[in-house]
Amino acid sequence: MSHYNLAYGLLLEFIKNVFPLCFSRNNHTTMIVDILLKNFPSRIACYEMAAMLCISNRRLQKICASSFHITFTRLKRILRVYYALKLFAENKLDDNQVAEVLYYSERTNLMRDIRIELNVCTCEVRRLLDSFSPQYLFDKLWKR
């Protein structure tokens, strides 16, 4: 089974844990999550998502702000960072391999996203994953 087949259920559970109220707020929220996860990890731009939902970009951003309390772009980044943690922990892949699996153009972009969301470098993430699960680590380090 590929990384992407495993990602859907794993990331859906992650979203339910991190954003527990998001599914009760708006019907579009469920569709946003479903489209993001079915297309994970490919890059979907805000305007593409809005077109799929037949709403404006502004409306999509408002839905994300009210349901997730973050932007659409940050939601995508959080999903990729969390999945990167899972790949580091379970598959023992190096930075370049994880960046490739998640469609980052360069390893440095993955490292930047991890630093933005968790405020630690990838070498520190690897050290911490020896002692903690990806979910626990994300919960403790994520800057809400």
**Co-location of 82 and 63 in the same domain:** no
pLDDT tens-digit series, residues 56-101: 999 999 999 988 889 999 999 999 999 999 999 887 788 999 999 9
**Co-location of 7 and 68 in the same domain:** yes
- From 50, 72, 94, the end of a domain falls on 72
**Co-location of 53 and 18 in the same domain:** yes
Task: Using a cut of 0.85, tell me whether the model's pTM lies above it.
Answer: yes
- Domain of 31, in residue numbers: 3-72
- Structural contact between residues 65 and 71, judged by C-beta atoms closer than 8 angstroms: yes
| 19 has a pLDDT exceeding 70 | yes
**Co-location of 58 and 34 in the same domain:** yes
Q: What angle do CA 120, 45, 94 make, to 5 degrees?
A: 35
The helix/strand count (H/E) of the chain reads as 10, 0
**Co-location of 68 and 79 in the same domain:** no
Which residues neighbour 20 within 8 Å (Cβ) at sequence distance 6 or greater?
none
pLDDT tens-digit series, residues 93-143: 889 999 999 999 999 999 999 999 999 998 899 899 888 888 888 888 886
**Co-location of 41 and 60 in the same domain:** yes
Range 28-55 average pLDDT: 90
* Spatial distance between the Cα atoms of 72 and 137, rounded to a whole number of angstroms: 23
> HSE (CB half, 13 Å, CA atoms) of 130?
5
